[in-house]
A and B are shown apart, each in its own frame.
Chain A
């Protein structure tokens, strides 16, 4: 379609003239929600629920909770999924936008960085906002691991083996976690079990205080055997978990290994989403500002020890932001495996039970539907920011399959210099 003459004139005199001044814009996290997370498999709450329907519920809840956000103002819907076929296919972002009833003028796309999918959706959108490509967008992720088991349809290039590019264990996440134990022998099974029990206990306390449920959108769940139900709470958590109850669990990835179903996240179904915006746009529309993005980094590591990814990603992000780990007052780190969290804490000299870490428990308790988890971390961090004006900076970080890590540093807009805390 031919552009109107005036538009042509504008474009020729616009970007074509080098050195057009650009202002970098502040990117804010407005609000986030998620579905309750379910256990993957035929007995799970979402066994008969489609992945695209999960993300649709999330998008609609974001709009319901933010009536000041005109749907037609949404410039992009970036949705992550690791396996982008079937009910996670058809360019899930666009597919979900249409299904959610957003105006047809709202575009969408699909994104994949395995576990850091939703996180990458947010950073990608943030880049676009900073550059001026978007004012406001929806970012999120979905993974229905019941419908799409890990590794579904993958076809690894034989050169990975023939050229010794990676060890075969690199493709099995549990094995990479065992490898991490090998690398850091002082990260014992006793410590990972203790961490896992702590995660369950923290989650349980947060749930009882109403902190978890507040961010969940209820999802109607179909069961052809027993009729409709309503998912209002996470299915994976195991309240009452203790170190003792974890001790005897099997180690499926190695005989007499250390990684158990108890000290790692399970296989889960769920979706998350958030609204990310240019700060001025958000404030102009009267939208809440939950967090301000300071910076982000992704980093690669050896795929055989992918769990160490958050370490270089965080170092890099802090360096770029001119901050140090001591500036960070709250951490939301994804718990794919307890050992991977401990490797991070060990690196930065933080105690296993430091109260700044995963205050409301983590994926070991609530679950980890791969591509969706990044936004869960962000939503929870934004809520914690509101409760902790004394904290200025927080991070969300996660390890990523095939040897990566991702970290986003956030600033607390509620930070009050006078509240006492410098951090």
Chain B
């Protein structure tokens, strides 16, 4: 390989993973085992990855191993980590296809030495094995896995990529195409679901699972038995006919439903899996190499890597958050409102903060119902084994209800989840202030109302902060933390600290209507609805955004959010920005009629517009094409995002993207939204400038 000398130039910031070869004597074996350790020299919080220098190190470690003519070669990782794949930050900086090709090929060339070795090769997967790490393991003849190994997955499709160092070829030929589709596509596109060692072993990815206390010792013993022939390894029969066909069909369905074909990387994964049917590594690896070199030079992938970086780094260090040392301790929480949202909040606070949580509402009946709901959810967690019986008892004891707000006297943090009406919320906060200390944080889960106005009448408005969750609260990771005009740093710091303990990714937003996610979604949905109002058929309008690969179509989104809530937010936005957020009489009629969705299914199971909806929706006679609807929606998004930055709603465009990734589930290949607006030209078209310089979330301009 020739990459070593250039590697510093290619990957200037590579944290080099070194491979060390040691020749060890193992009882019962004639000859030695060349034991190769993959170790980047950091502890487990910085797992080992492969860049060009790392691959070169592995290559020379293998030189050393083969030169010793051992009885077996085994690869393992540093404590708790096997290897977690390619060095993504380096990959995201490659400027030439030629370099991308070299790295793609280098991975294959080095790993393949283990596959084609005449000497038996083993991977002892002692910990996390992701992407290229798992491909390294699959490249060996045999694999053991430790029962405490976390994180076994091919996360590539999640990033808009595909396993490119052998994964698409090796996995289906080891465990069958169907299971490979599950791991490579289904799991990855299902919020990057990981395998546990037992499950992965059951699938046949590993030959044997061994207990962690003496994993390496027992792996070596097992390897000796395999080498000596006293243990034989059973491998699944691979169905290369109908089974393979069915798997590819399923892969296409998954890709279609999860990405609408919008991710070239995911499409390529399906193609490569089809190619693997012949089990021809020369052809398969060549195709992977070319595809990887191509993919690394696409804007989609750069946007995916950018998005990944945001969720891994920016989400953990929220921009604009005050120093956490300013935060006050939160040892008791109050929840005002005992409805479904309040119940979800109470459960989350009790589980994550493990402090008393008191619910209140306007009458004892509602309170009892709210507490019973939370206790019921806690019981469900117990029944699922997510909580021990002691844990169930503990959490239930933490969640109580009180009609008397004096129960909040010693609460440090009170959140309201009452009806979305400014006067109601002001009244709640006013009443609370009679009971709580001046430092108690008063948080609102409002989705669109002004946080500043909510606190305006208080003696201590500086303790009011917006704390906007996304439904379902337990699932969606985003928390928009809203700084009102008078919110002080202590309150804000406390809010961020609480948000982090709730395991949410917090983004700071200004106190502007609907904050980030709802504002962008409302703007975009408003344009689609306006198109329908003007005469565009629902079918056309609702398909218009498919090329972006959003998690759901606009009308399905409307149904999920709830038309009444959407209408309410839209009214708020219209009041604030009447020029850009129009009101739809049709939507109002739709809400008034109590309709929840546009789509329904006919007797034959086909999706059709609900006839009642068709009836009440009065359309104009100026239909747009799909392309026109899309153009209109994207222009609107580009305009709104730019205005939001001009209004300082968030610190940077990256925060808008983080919100859309985590709060709306918008895909990695869009980079959230602004990288897509840049690369599709809408940023410059609408605003006269990009959100990011070329090279950020996109290819550098050459």
Contact = CB atoms under 8 A, between A and B. Distances in A.
Same complex: yes
Interface of A: 53, 56-57, 60, 99-101, 213, 217-220, 222-230, 232-233
Q: Pick the 4 closest A-B CB pairs, nearest first.
A: A227-B37, A227-B20, A220-B216, A230-B24
B213 A227 contact: no
Contacts of B211: 101
Nearest to B23: A229
26 contacts: A53-B213, A56-B213, A56-B214, A57-B217, A101-B211, A101-B213, A217-B217, A218-B27, A218-B217, A218-B221, A220-B214, A220-B220, A224-B39, A227-B21, A227-B22, A227-B37, A228-B37, A229-B24, A230-B24, A230-B26, A230-B35, A230-B216, A230-B220, A232-B24, A232-B25, A232-B26
Contacts of B78: 224
Interface in B16-68: 19-22, 24-27, 33, 35-37, 39, 41
Most-contacted residue by chain A among B37, B211, B221 (CB, 10 A): B37
A387 to B, nearest CB: 21
Nearest to A218: B217
A224 B213 contact: no
Nearest to A57: B214
B216 A228 contact: yes
B310 to A, nearest CB: 32
B221 to A, nearest CB: 8
Nearest to A229: B22
Nearest to B24: A230
A220 B79 CA distance: 11
B621 to A, nearest CB: 74
Contacts of A99: 213
Nearest to A61: B214
Interface string B216-228: 1100110000000
Given A57-B214, A100-B213, A218-B221, 16 more contacts: A56-B213, A218-B27, A218-B220, A223-B20, A224-B39, A224-B41, A226-B20, A227-B19, A227-B21, A227-B22, A227-B35, A228-B35, A229-B24, A230-B33, A230-B35, A233-B25
A177 B41 CA distance: 44
B76 interface: yes
A212 to B, nearest CB: 12
A232 B39 contact: no
Nearest to A210: B27
A223 B76 CA distance: 13
Contacts of B25: 230, 232-233
A contact face: mostly helix, strand, loop, or mixed: loop
A60 B36 contact: no
A49 to B, nearest CB: 11
A112 B540 CA distance: 81
Contacts of A223: 20
Contact of B79 (A57, A100, A218, A222): A222
Contacts of B20: 223, 225-227
Interface in B333-373: none
A99 B26 CA distance: 24
A161 B20 CA distance: 52
A226 B24 CA distance: 12
Interface in B56-101: 76, 78-79
A294 to B, nearest CB: 34
A223 B18 CA distance: 13
Contacts of A56: 213-214
A227 B39 contact: yes
A333 B152 CA distance: 51
A124 to B, nearest CB: 25
A206 B78 CA distance: 35
A107 to B, nearest CB: 19
Given A222-B79, A228-B76, A60 B27 contact: no
Contacts of A222: 79
A219 B221 CA distance: 11
B22 A228 contact: yes
